[in-house]
Structure formats: C-alpha cells, structure tokens
Structure 1
Amino acid sequence: AATMSRNAAEAAALAHVPLLALRRPGWVAQDGDRWHSTGSLSEAAGLLPALGERVFLTTGRMGLAAFAGAGLDALWFLVRSVDAPEPPCPARMEVLLDRGPFDLDGERELLRRHRIDVLVTKDSGGDATAPKLTAAREAGIPVVVVRRPPVPEGVPVARTPDEAARWVARLHASG
C-alpha cells in the first residue's frame, strides 16, 4: 500500500494531474480492547509468540511471508483471505476463503470454534470487517493492529466518498 501510494503521488506529480487519497477513518480502540499497534507485518509477527498460540490472521494473502519465519513454527494460523495465498506461508495454517462483510455472531463463533487467542489485522477502518474487533474484545483476545502507511506528503485526503466528490467538484469548478 505504501509503495502504491508513493507511486501514484509521483506519477500524478510528473503528469501534473491532481491526486486525492480516499481514506476512511481508522478504527479507534474502545474500553476493554487489548490492542497492540505496529507499523508493519514483520513487527506484528514479532509480537505473536508473547501473545498467543492460535492466531486469526486477517491481513490478506499478501505479506504472509512475515508470518512464515523462524520462531513462529509453534504457532497455528487461521488465515482468512478473499483469494488463496501463495508461499511462503506459515508452517501450520488453515485457510478460510471468505469475503466480508462479516457479522458479530459469525465472528464470535469463528473465534470460539478455532480456539483463537490472538487476532492480527490491518487497520482498514470501516464497518464491514469491524465485528472481529468486537468479538475479540468480548473474548478478551489481544489484537495486533497494523497501522496504515501515511499518505504521501502533499496529497490531500478525503474521509468519505461524498467528501471526495466535493473535492472533484471544486477542482472542476476552478479550472
């Protein structure tokens, strides 16, 4: 994501084309959450041995290599992804191919059925995948949240599609 954003900013600057980042607000920890914020997948992987043994990994299929390293072989991973992952992958894992939105009852059942004791997720914000956070809070499960990379310097940010549409309308009206 960081590379894509940087490439988009560089291409827009070279082409003299306006660029807007549409980024919904990130999730905010609530009372009872046991969040551990990290800046990368590899940093998240490094925290896991101290947090649990049965990991619910919801970071997508890209970046699984960070969880395939030495020191993590004793952990078991439930990897939920839209598409099947490709190696390298964690040594002990089950893949659950699924696409949100997910409901709270389903997330509670998934955590219980797989005996999950730690969750790893990227901070995508929004409601479609937030029920896993509520289910983890209710179960007292620690959550490792991988922060989003910053928006490149000089790129304006819209928080909603309506805000983005207003930005485009202002841009169109001015030129």
Structure 2
Amino acid sequence: MTSAPARHVLILGGTTEARRLAEDLADDPALRVTSSLAGRVAAPRLPVGQVRIGGFGGAEGMARWLREHQVDALIDATHPFADTISSHAARAAADVHVPLLALRRPGWVPGPGDRWQDVGSLAEAARLLPDLGERIFLTTGRMGLAAFAHLTEQWFLVRSVDAPEPPVPPRMEVILDRGPFTLEGEAELLRRHRVEVLVTKDSGAHATAPKLTAARAAGIPVVLIRRPPAPAGVPVAETPAEAAAWLRTTLV
C-alpha cells in the first residue's frame, strides 16, 4: 500500500515561537515543513528543516508561492507587529483556499507599581516624550526610528539586533544586542545610562520582559505601543503546542 504524501506546511517565522513550532513538527513524517524568514536580520536564528529567506512580492506573490508549492496549511508566526505580512497572508490564504492560523504570544499585562502609558503608534509615543523625560531607552526596533528623528532635545539609547539606518534621532547611542536579557543586566543598563523613560512595543516576549520589571523597580515610566490585531476572521493560537494541535486537526 502506498502511503499518503506528506502535507506541506508553511510557517511564516522569525520568532521564537516559529522556531519551536518547526522543531515540534520536524519529526512528523506526515508533514513537510517550510519556514519562511523575511531576511531583515543579517544573521537570523534559523529553525530546523527547510528554510526560505526573502519576501514573496505582496499578497499576490504569496498566493502564487502557496499554489506552486502545494501548501496545505499556512501558519503566520511572525512578530506581533509584522502587520503587513500578516495582512498579505490573510489575503493569500483566502485566494488559494488554504487554512490559515495566526500564532501570537500573549501581550504583556501591567502589574502593581507599573507606570505604563499605552499608545497606538510610534508617532504617538514620540509626541509624549517631551513631557516625560530627556533620556529615553528605545527598544522598538531599528525600522521605526524615523518617528523620533525630529526630537532634538532628548537623548536616546537604542537597542537593536542590527545597526539602524537614517533617519534617526540626532542624539543617540546604539547597543547591538538580542535577548534573552536578564533583570540584573537591564537594571544596570537603566542605572548606567540614567534612563528616565522606556519606550517599547508590546511584543509579549519573555526574553525581553525583564526591562519592564527593571523599569518598575526604578519607578521609570513606560510608553507601551499596542500591537495591531490579527486580521479579521483568522483564528489565533497563543503557543506552539496550540498551533500544532490546530494543524493536525485541520489536516485530518
């Protein structure tokens, strides 16, 4: 008897959850997993299994790729703020009639003593800063620094994986690093640079959460940029285990 061909799963990755999901599925002979990375990080952490790097050319290009490579299920496990590719994935999956799941880690929740201000955009965060402090720890990624480039009175400590490109704030120091970070290290960073305000996105990652605890202990206000919602109608899983369970149920 001839066994059924393996079902092709495309994971839109670049996150810890995407790598864990690819690892969890790697030993399943009924599945063929491809992970796709955008290619924006110079030296990405590669998942196990087959990997493609680069864009698709919008929703139409992604739909074409899904069709040509006979993808049976699509899992969007990109960063919670990668709303453009999430929108493209929703359109492409609908066009090709491929089931789609969004894998999104839970967002951060404030606790006692936190001084958080939620905002909807980088531009809104920038508008608040002149009233909050002069020394800013900015951990929103290298791609959005243009929103703060007009602030000439504030000094920025910017942490990113790769070096940012202009336009950037004129008074800025850059730290090239990636998580996980420790509470002790984050507390020392805030002290050493005399940080007065933390600006970050609600990525929800455990690896980068210690900065929030350190800010709470130091009494430093946090400007937290809200994440965009998943595209309408797309089911959401919060863990790789939930995503794997959805996948096996969907591909029955």
**TM-score per shorter chain, which class?**
over 0.9
Q: TM-score, normalised by structure 2?
A: 0.67
| TM-superposed deviation, 1:82 | 0.2
Aligned counterpart, 1:28: 109
Q: Which amino acid aligns with 1:75?
A: Q
Which of the residues 242, 245, 249 maps onto 1:163?
Answer: 242
**TM-score, normalised via structure 1 length:** 0.96
Matched to 2:249, the amino acid is: R
The aligned residue for residue 51 of structure 1 is 132
Residue aligned with 2:138, SS = strand
1:102 corresponding residue in structure 2? 181
Aligned-pair distance for 1:17? 1.0
Corresponding residue to 1:146 among 212, 219, 225: 225
* Structure 2 gap segments, 5+ residues each: 1-81
| 1:27-52 deviation per Cα after TM superposition (whole angstroms, max 9, x unaligned) | 00000000000111111111111111
Q: Note the C-alpha offset of 1:172.
A: 1.1
**What one-letter code is carried by the residue in structure 1 that aligns with 2:141?**
G
Higher RCO, Cα 8 Å, sep 6+: 1
- SS of the counterpart of 1:135? helix
Matched, 1:65 2:146: yes
Superposed CA deviations along residues 132-161 of structure 1, whole A, max 9, x for unmatched, are 000000000000000110100010000000
Bigger-Rg structure (1/2): 2
Flag as ranges the 4+ runs of structure 1 deviating above 4 A. Answer: none
Aligned residue number for residue 137 of structure 1: 216
Unmatched tracts of structure 1, length 5 or more: none
Note the aligned Cα RMSD (angstroms): 0.6
CA shift for structure 1 position 126: 2.6
SS of structure 2 residue aligned to 1:62: helix
How many pairs were matched up? 171
